[in-house]
Amino acid sequence: MLTFAGAHAQQAEIWLTTSDRRALLEPQAGAEFTSERKPELPVVIVAEGTAYQTIEGFGASMTDSAAYLIRQRVPPEKQQEVMEWLFDFRKGIGVSFLRNPMGASDLARFHYSYNDLPPGQQDMRLERFSIEHDRADILPLLKQALRINPLIRMMGSPWSAPGWMKTSGSMIGGSLRKEAYPAFALYFRKYVEAYAAEGVPVHYVSMQNEPLYVPKDYPGMSVTAAEQIDFLKNHLLPELDAARLSTRVLVYDHNWDRPEYPEAVLRDNVIAGSPRVAGTAWHWYGGTAGAMTVVHQLDPKRGQYVTEASGGTWIEDQVKADFEAIVHSMRNYARAFVKWGLALNEKRGPNAGGCNTCTGLIEVNEQTGEVAKTIDYYTLGHFSRFVRPGAVRVYSTNAPGVITAAFVNRDRSRVLVAFNETRQERRFQVEWRGRWMELALPPLGGLTAVWARGVTPPGLPGQPRGAREKKPEYVIPAVGQPLLASNYTSLRELRTEPCTDAEGGFNLGYAAAGSWAGFENIDFGAGVSWVDARVASAGTGGTLEFRLDAPDGPLIAQAPLPVTGGWQAWTTVSAPVTGAAGVRDLYVVFTRPGGSGGLGNLNWVRFRNE
């Protein structure tokens, strides 16, 4: 259970990490909700009446390299403590989601599968299948992790089928031979059954890690969307069904920049109708997290999972990158966020080809056995330690320069994670249930605030959801603080993406003619006369229409969306407003006669009276 400073139900505990690393998940002085609203401060709203995805966990991968380092290089008397650093909610950061490579990956000491054969041989019935490799280090540590944290969810992903199943005859390169599809499906079944026999349940599998990338020096395998459809519906799903296993399938398992791949897989009638298909696995190395909302809207019943997001030496500011990516992922329906290796050595290995610039959650010195927590440990810990499996993400707004994600745990504790995108201190108030809490964030600093365990929120699972209340849970003043585009409550054919405008955050992009974003409970007061919009375009440009209550509701303003010379080349446009008063829902609609895609981007909207 979480603990809280003081007995007051609305007293929050605070933890802080900063990019300069002067604070690393450090406890701070508590803060309290009061009845005082300070108009000079921007507001972050936490509204529990609007609930989104259930969180399944945060974590990393038990690679061959990680398991070897922890089990064979950490001194035996230190191993329990190190495992508690990783998996215990009180003594560590409570890692609760593990991705397990099915055989070698780019963080493995050598290349191996569970069915390696001499050249020229085949084993279509998998009579020589064996997980003996994993019994040395991986399985003992997985069992230990489950003893520390029984809530762990686990996923299995192959980097390659055994070489004899492939066109290359090797774990490196090539694709899966058509005649080997049944054997590869059996490979998954045997893996899941063998792990279950060891007391380690596998909750999810994906067919292939990064199917659109074929590496030259470590295991990999090309799989097109059509090939994945064929394999899943005609082989893997029937094989798992026949074995009556509870393991479910995640499709794709690659970057945000190709959402058309999982869209194609999930549109297949057989796959779309299978309850065994749990959702889509994503990596963070290309594209924007907003792609997950696009796929979520295709089928809201299925989940989105970020299954690989390595830290590394190529990242200029790991603190900023991690807070942005995890917050952005949570705001786009991710149920899990999984970094890469749990542990690496002082040379960011060992491995036999692959990533020598990645960072793990801990670093193990192979020569001395000393263990150090990396920056990735602390940034992930801001989420994994406090947002427990079964938590529900709820609506929260961003403020100028501040991005947020909010959650309600099963014990009804509230969790808010906020990050300051700027190089100046940001002071703001958190509005929750008609009360306000003042917080301060140092430059490029992230905090986690936890409060109010046991107070039942409205509108979460377990409570009846009736018609919309006459009095809304919150209202957003139209005049004053800019209305950030990322604070939408509904949208069509748009994606959030990182913004390089002055105060960072996330803008809305990928607009086509007819795309729109909706914002609930905007208080126009007695009326407004002008609207400003912060826009950018390297496409066709167009027009922004401002409408009330629906995308085709009353038109109150039209502003130009000019071509600015870049998707992040921002300018401010203005237009007169007529007919807006009282508390209404606002819709911003992208239009262009005869237009299709590539109209432009929107960062914020601001109403004023002049």
pLDDT tens across 501-560, in order? 999 999 999 999 999 999 999 999 999 999 999 999 999 999 999 999 999 999 999 999
Whole-number Cα distances in Å, 150 to 85, 96, 145: 15, 8, 8
Contact criterion met (CB below 8 Å) for 333 and 52: yes
Distance of CA 318 to the CA centre of its chain: 16
d(CA 349, CA 313): 13
Residues 6+ apart with CB under 8 A from 67: 137, 138, 141
The tokens describing 592, both together, are 């262009």
Residues 6+ apart with CB under 8 A from 215: 106, 172, 353, 354
Is 459 contained in some domain? no
CB atoms under 10 Å from CB of 16, counted, come to 20
Same domain, 314 and 413: no
- CA angle 509–358–336, rounded 5-degree value: 55
Residue among 328, 346, 230, 345 at smallest CA distance from 282: 328
How sure is the predictor about 456, in pLDDT bands with cuts at 50, 70 and 90? low
Provide the whole-model pTM.
0.95
Same domain, 145 and 107: yes
Same domain, 447 and 357: no
Beta-carbon-side half-sphere exposure of residue 168 (alpha carbons within 13 Å): 17
Residue 470 confidence (pLDDT)? 55
d(CA 326, CA 224): 28
For residue 447, what are the domain limits? 11-54+392-451
Distance of CA 569 to the CA centre of its chain: 27
Is 44 contained in some domain? yes
The domain spanning residue 236 has which CATH number? 3.20.20.80
d(CA 501, CA 71): 46
Same domain, 435 and 527: no
Same domain, 83 and 166: yes
Is 461 contained in some domain? no
Last residue of a domain, one of 384, 406, 435: 384
Same domain, 328 and 420: no
d(CA 350, CA 352): 7
Residue 6 has pLDDT above 90, yes or no: no
Contact criterion met (CB below 8 Å) for 553 and 519: no
How sure is the predictor about 462, in pLDDT bands with cuts at 50, 70 and 90? very low
d(CA 182, CA 231): 8
Same domain, 147 and 119: yes
Beta-carbon-side half-sphere exposure of residue 380 (alpha carbons within 13 Å): 35
Mean pLDDT score, 378-393 = 98
How sure is the predictor about 3, in pLDDT bands with cuts at 50, 70 and 90? very low
Mean pLDDT score, 322-330 = 98
Contact criterion met (CB below 8 Å) for 227 and 233: no
Q: What is the DSSP string of 17-60?
A: EETTSS-SSEEEEEEE-BS---TTS-EEEEEEEEEEEEP-EEEE
Residue 4 has pLDDT above 60, yes or no: no
Strand pairing category for 530-537 and 601-608: antiparallel
Residue 468 has pLDDT above 80, yes or no: no
d(CA 406, CA 150): 24
d(CA 303, CA 262): 12
Contact criterion met (CB below 8 Å) for 65 and 351: yes
Residue 240 has pLDDT above 70, yes or no: yes
Phi and psi for 261 in degrees, rounded to 5?
Answer: -65, -60
Q: Which residues pair with 394 in a beta bridge?
A: 51, 406
- CA angle 110–115–120, rounded 5-degree value: 95
* Amino acid at the residue 602: L
The tokens describing 5, both together, are 């400073």
Last residue of a domain, one of 349, 384, 419: 384
Q: Where are the alpha helices (DSSP H) in 198-317?
A: 225-231, 237-243, 260-267, 269-272, 291-298
Is 87 contained in some domain? yes
The domain spanning residue 32 has which CATH number? 2.60.40.1180
Averaged pLDDT of the chain: 95
Is 143 contained in some domain? yes
Is 24 contained in some domain? yes
Same domain, 513 and 432: no
Is 468 contained in some domain? no
Same domain, 599 and 557: yes
- For the stretch 344-377, pLDDT in tens is 999 999 999 999 999 999 999 999 999 999 999 9
DSSP 534: E
Residue among 348, 347, 353, 340 at smallest CA distance from 110: 353
Same domain, 62 and 141: yes
| Omega within 30 of 0 (cis) for the link into 482 | no
d(CA 244, CA 252): 23
Residue 465 has pLDDT above 90, yes or no: no
Residue 1 has pLDDT above 90, yes or no: no
d(CA 552, CA 545): 10
Residues 6+ apart with CB under 8 A from 361: 60, 86, 93, 95, 339, 341, 342, 343, 373, 374, 376, 377, 380
Same domain, 40 and 67: no
- For the stretch 278-304, pLDDT in tens is 999 999 999 999 999 999 999 999 999
Same domain, 50 and 64: no
Residue among 238, 163, 253 at smallest CA distance from 204: 253
- CA angle 549–554–557, rounded 5-degree value: 105
The tokens describing 58, both together, are 């945060």
Whole-number Cα distances in Å, 480 to 256, 472, 528, 532, 605: 35, 20, 11, 12, 11
Residue 464 has pLDDT above 70, yes or no: no
Mean pLDDT score, 477-504 = 97
Is 460 contained in some domain? no
d(CA 16, CA 365): 27
First to last CA, the chain: 53
DSSP 189: H
d(CA 67, CA 597): 47
Number of domains present in the structure of the chain? 3
How sure is the predictor about 236, in pLDDT bands with cuts at 50, 70 and 90? very high
Last residue of a domain, one of 384, 412, 429: 384
Residue 463 confidence (pLDDT)? 42
The domain spanning residue 576 has which CATH number? 2.60.120.260
